[in-house]
């Protein structure tokens, strides 16, 4: 899995028992293979509506190699061989994601050619999870709620799982709810705008605000914050999803211009966009979750959950909510999205639908993904 932050490829090896829901699972190894600044620049160049087709085609193969390498690394780290592994599930790298809206057809494109992964590893590879949901009328996102449901639903408390990646997204699991009652949507930017501002003010020397130190030193500019919160995405009702198309480089440029107009220091600007993430999350809960039910427990995950300034801003605005990290539930927050796609791949191989229509807006449940067969020397023998 690589998300919108472009920090690196997350690879996890899990063992799963049983079908869906699994009777048990455990994490065997996890690694994040970082993208270099050059890799990141190459990926940024692809996320442009007028991208060069030759660049797109070759990047698909190049990313396939990188994802295959990440899979082989995590397998080796667990002390296993590729022959021991039943399947690879690969989300790939999203370069374009536009849900259908107002009569306009949507589109979604993940790179990291699964045939390359299958060829290099010899392992059956499940990939391209999003298009089938979109074909069924959904947004193709978010898909992680299926895993959130398997991992966190509870008969005694209502749980919200807040991932803070490049984009921030929440899954709300009402107490005792079935999967068809799950609510989930992207709340807006997670680290994406923070990362862009840190890169700008540090002249590219840093790519994120480690532990939220810059934001902690700065002061939130209340007027600019309110202005930024007027972005139309926040007022849109779920189902909704967003990405770099809305909160990427062009948006960061606009924000930087407004910070300059208000004369903000780098730390004040970083504090203000950190507050944009925190307040947009809290207001999304008030607008779209509170009418359905309370949040007893909030579980934070993704790289942004390590940003202490952001955590403090959330805690301050959510009195009475018990806030935890994935680690408190025995799950690595950094590995969580990769675990989610491993479980989605498992569902595909079980022939079980794994989109959540109440979340994506799809007309019906569908089995997600494309399957590239294993090396025939390893394929199941039918005799």
Ligand X SMILES: Nc1ncnc2c1ncn2[C@@H]1O[C@H](COP(=O)(O)OP(=O)(O)O)[C@@H](O)[C@H]1O
Interface residues toward ligand X, by CB under 6 A: 3-5, 7, 165-166, 191, 195, 208-212, 302-304, 306-307, 337
Residue 114 binds Mg ion, judged by CB under 5 A: no
How near is the Cβ of 263 to Mg ion at its closest, in Å? 33
**Cβ distance to Mg ion smaller for residue 5 or 121:** 5
How near is the Cβ of 2 to Mg ion at its closest, in Å? 6
How near is the Cβ of 292 to ligand X at its closest, in Å? 26
**Cβ distance to ligand X smaller for residue 43 or 80:** 43
**Cβ distance to ligand X smaller for residue 246 or 337:** 337
Cα separation, 345 vs 125, whole angstroms: 9
- Which is nearest to 317 in space by CA: 348, 295, 347? 295
Report yes or no: 91 and 370 within 8 Å, Cβ to Cβ. no
How near is the Cβ of 79 to ligand X at its closest, in Å? 25
Identify what 307 binds: ligand X, Mg ion, none; CB under 5 to 8 Å per kind: ligand X
Identify what 212 binds: Mg ion, ligand X, none; CB under 5 to 8 Å per kind: ligand X
**Cβ distance to ligand X smaller for residue 158 or 163:** 163
Using CB under 5 A, count the residues that bind Mg ion: 3
Q: Pairing relation of β-strands 322-325 and 167-173?
A: unpaired
- Which is nearest to 207 in space by CA: 162, 252, 242, 168? 252
**Cβ distance to Mg ion smaller for residue 41 or 379:** 41
**Cβ distance to ligand X smaller for residue 71 or 374:** 71
Residue nearest to ligand X (CB): 303
Which window, 5-13, 20-28, 219-227, 340-348, contacts Mg ion (CB under 5 A)? 5-13
- Which is nearest to 338 in space by CA: 107, 18, 70? 70
């Amino acid at each position: 899995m690589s998300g919108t932050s472009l920090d690196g490829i997350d690879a996890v090896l899990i063992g799963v028992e049983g079908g869906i829901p699994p009777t048990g699972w455990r994490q065997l190894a996890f690694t994040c293979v970082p993208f270099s600044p050059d890799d990141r620049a190459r990926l940024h160049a692809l996320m442009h509506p007028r991208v060069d087709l030759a660049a797109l085609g070759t990047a698909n193969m190049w990313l396939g190699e990188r994802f295959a390498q990440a899979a082989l690394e995590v397998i080796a780290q667990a002390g296993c061989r590729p022959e021991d592994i039943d399947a690879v599930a690969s989300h790939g790298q999203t370069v374009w994601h536009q849900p259908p809206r107002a009569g306009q057809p949507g589109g979604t494109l993940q790179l990291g050619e699964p045939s390359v992964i299958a060829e290099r590893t010899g392992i059956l590879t499940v990939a391209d999870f999003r298009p089938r949901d979109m074909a069924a009328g959904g947004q193709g996102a978010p898909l992680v709620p299926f895993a959130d449901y398997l991992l966190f639903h509870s008969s005694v408390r209502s749980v919200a799982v807040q991932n803070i990646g490049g984009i921030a997204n929440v899954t709300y699991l009402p107490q005792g709810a079935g999967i068809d009652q799950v609510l989930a949507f992207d709340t807006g930017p997670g680290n994406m705008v923070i990362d862009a501002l840190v890169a700008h003010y540090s002249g590219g020397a840093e790519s994120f605000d480690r532990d939220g130190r810059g934001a902690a030193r700065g002061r939130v500019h209340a007027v600019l914050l309110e202005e930024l919160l007027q972005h139309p995405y926040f007022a849109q009702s779920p189902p909704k999803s967003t990405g770099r198309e809305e909160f990427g480089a062009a948006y960061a440029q606009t924000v930087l211009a407004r910070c300059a107009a208000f004369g903000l220091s780098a730390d004040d600007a970083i504090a203000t966009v950190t507050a944009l993430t925190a307040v947009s999350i809290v207001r999304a809960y008030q607008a779209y979750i509170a009418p359905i039910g309370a949040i007893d427990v909030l579980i934070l995950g993704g790289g942004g959950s390590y940003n202490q300034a952001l955590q403090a801003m959330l805690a301050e605005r959510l009195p009475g909510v018990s806030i935890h990290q994935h680690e408190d539930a025995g799950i690595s927050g950094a590995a969580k999205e990769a675990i989610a796609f491993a479980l989605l791949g498992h569902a595909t191989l079980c022939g079980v639908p794994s989109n959540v229509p109440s979340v994506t807006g799809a007309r019906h449940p569908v089995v997600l993904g494309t399957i590239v067969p294993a090396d025939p020397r390893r394929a199941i023998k039918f005799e």
